[in-house]
């Protein structure tokens, strides 16, 4: 079941530098939600707060009403959260299948002791996970690459592998960090179709950080625009693209005045 994500008054400081200031918004279950803004707007920092890689200085983050601010990523996985990164972190000398299986660690029973002792219950679960991982790769067009080493594949395929790894954890809330970065146009179109299918078939809430406003416009139900760590506006992608404040933040005041 898709999750609800709520941020309330998120502040983040690094020393005397304020990176995020009072950011609040709600992501409804099953939404495809865009988090956009120019370089340096605070998008990745906010993503890192949601995913447990940064601890906000203050504020609240809830998933389905449960407070999760400051939780480690491993604990957030138990609340149904999974994340991809702009630069996929793969084990390049391992096969695609082995990389995807890393997403199952929160679902295997027995903990580290059971895994090291190869207890029967753990072994049965691992075999089931391997079958599920292969099926997941097939459904996402990567079945042919399951036994290929990751370092033999392209950047675009690395992004697909990382997405499958996140999906193996069976998330309710999926964070995608610049999924279109470095992809040619044809692969961006495929990405749009894949994200829509995931939302519709798997019933997942999806939050995307992305610079590609074409993708955001084609894909999202709702967006929040950040600028200098603050929420600049909230609405549809079309409203964001027409908002003078957003145009100014992206291209500068002089250029915005000239365009007007």
CA dist 220 → 71, 116, 217 (Å):
27, 43, 6
pTM of the model: 0.88
Which carries the bigger pLDDT value, residue 118 or residue 205?
205
pLDDT at 109 (0 to 100): 57
Q: Which helix or strand (DSSP H or E) is residue 8 part of?
A: strand 5-14
Based on the fold, state whether residues 107 and 129 are members of the same structural domain: yes
Based on the fold, state whether residues 49 and 165 are members of the same structural domain: no
**Mean pLDDT, residues 103-127 taken together:** 65
Q: Is the pLDDT of residue 107 over 90?
A: no
Q: Among 170, 191, 207, which residue terminates a domain?
A: 170
Q: Quick check: is 41 in a domain?
A: yes
Q: Quick check: is 85 in a domain?
A: no
CATH number at residue 13: 3.40.50.300
Q: Is the separation of the CB atoms in 94 and 78 below 8 Å?
A: no
Based on the fold, state whether residues 65 and 181 are members of the same structural domain: yes
Could you give the strand order of the β-sheet that contains 173-177, starting from the edge strand earlier in sequence? 81-83, 173-177, 205-209, 32-36, 222-227, 230-235
Domain containing 6: what range? 1-80+175-260
pLDDT tens-digit profile of 177-227? 998 888 888 888 888 888 999 898 889 999 999 877 788 999 999 999 999
Based on the fold, state whether residues 71 and 97 are members of the same structural domain: no
Q: Quick check: is 26 in a domain?
A: yes
Q: Is the pLDDT of residue 114 over 70?
A: no
Q: Is the separation of the CB atoms in 259 and 251 below 8 Å?
A: yes
Based on the fold, state whether residues 164 and 182 are members of the same structural domain: no
Q: Which residue has the tokens 């299948």?
A: 97
Based on the fold, state whether residues 181 and 260 are members of the same structural domain: yes
Based on the fold, state whether residues 41 and 161 are members of the same structural domain: no
Based on the fold, state whether residues 258 and 186 are members of the same structural domain: yes
Measured CA to CA, the distance from residue 257 to residue 55 in angstroms comes to: 39
Number of domains observed in the structure of the chain: 2
Classify 81 as helix, strand or coil. Answer: strand
Based on the fold, state whether residues 160 and 185 are members of the same structural domain: no
Based on the fold, state whether residues 76 and 107 are members of the same structural domain: no
Based on the fold, state whether residues 144 and 220 are members of the same structural domain: no
Sign of the torsion angle spanned by Cα atoms 166, 169, 170, 173: negative
Based on the fold, state whether residues 74 and 195 are members of the same structural domain: yes
């Amino acid at each position: 079941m898709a999750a609800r994500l709520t941020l309330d008054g998120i502040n983040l400081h690094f020393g005397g530098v304020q990176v995020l200031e009072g950011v609040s918004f709600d992501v409804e279950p099953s939404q495809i939600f865009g988090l956009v803004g120019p370089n340096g707007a605070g998008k990745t920092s906010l993503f890192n707060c949601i995913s447990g890689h940064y601890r906000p200085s203050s504020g609240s983050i809830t998933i389905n009403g449960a407070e999760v601010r400051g939780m480690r990523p491993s604990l957030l996985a138990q609340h149904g959260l999974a994340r991809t990164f702009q630069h996929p972190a793969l084990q390049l000398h391992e096969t695609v299948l082995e990389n995807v299986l890393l997403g199952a660690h929160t679902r295997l029973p027995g903990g580290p002791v059971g895994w090291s002792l190869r207890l029967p219950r753990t072994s049965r679960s691992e075999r089931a996970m391997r079958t599920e991982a292969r099926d997941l790769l097939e459904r996402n067009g990567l079945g042919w690459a399951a036994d290929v080493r990751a370092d033999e594949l392209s950047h675009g395929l690395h992004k697909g592998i990382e997405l499958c790894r996140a999906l193996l954890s069976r998330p309710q809330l999926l964070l995608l960090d610049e999924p279109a970065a470095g992809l040619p146009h044809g692969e961006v179109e495929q990405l749009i179709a894949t994200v829509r299918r995931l939302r519709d078939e798997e019933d997942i809430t999806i939050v995307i950080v992305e610079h590609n406003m074409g993708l955001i416009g084609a894909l999202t139900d709702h967006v929040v625009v950040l600028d200098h760590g603050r929420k600049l506006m909230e609405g549809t992608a079309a409203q964001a693209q027409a908002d003078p404040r957003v145009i100014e933040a992206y291209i500068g005041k002089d250029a915005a005045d000239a365009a007007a």
